[in-house]
Amino acid sequence: MVSLLSVILNYSLIQKAQVEGMLSILSPSLNPSHQGREV
């Protein structure tokens, strides 16, 4: 069970990084901190 949890955690971290990367590229408006839009 511990190995399964570790695999799920590692997969979730990888997916989180990929999703954040896609969001920063496709929808920068959803990531104001990355864009730094202070108009």
Tens of pLDDT along 1-39?
A: 779 999 999 999 999 999 888 888 877 665 556 555 555
Model pTM above 0.85? no
pLDDT of residue 27: 74
pLDDT of residue 21: 87
pLDDT of residue 10: 93
Distances in Å between the Cα of 12 and the Cα atoms of 29, 31, 38, 39 are 24, 20, 32, 34
pLDDT of residue 36: 53
Would you say 23 and 31 are in contact if contact means Cβ atoms under 8 Å apart?
Answer: yes
| CA–CA gap between residue 28 and residue 17 (Å, rounded) | 15
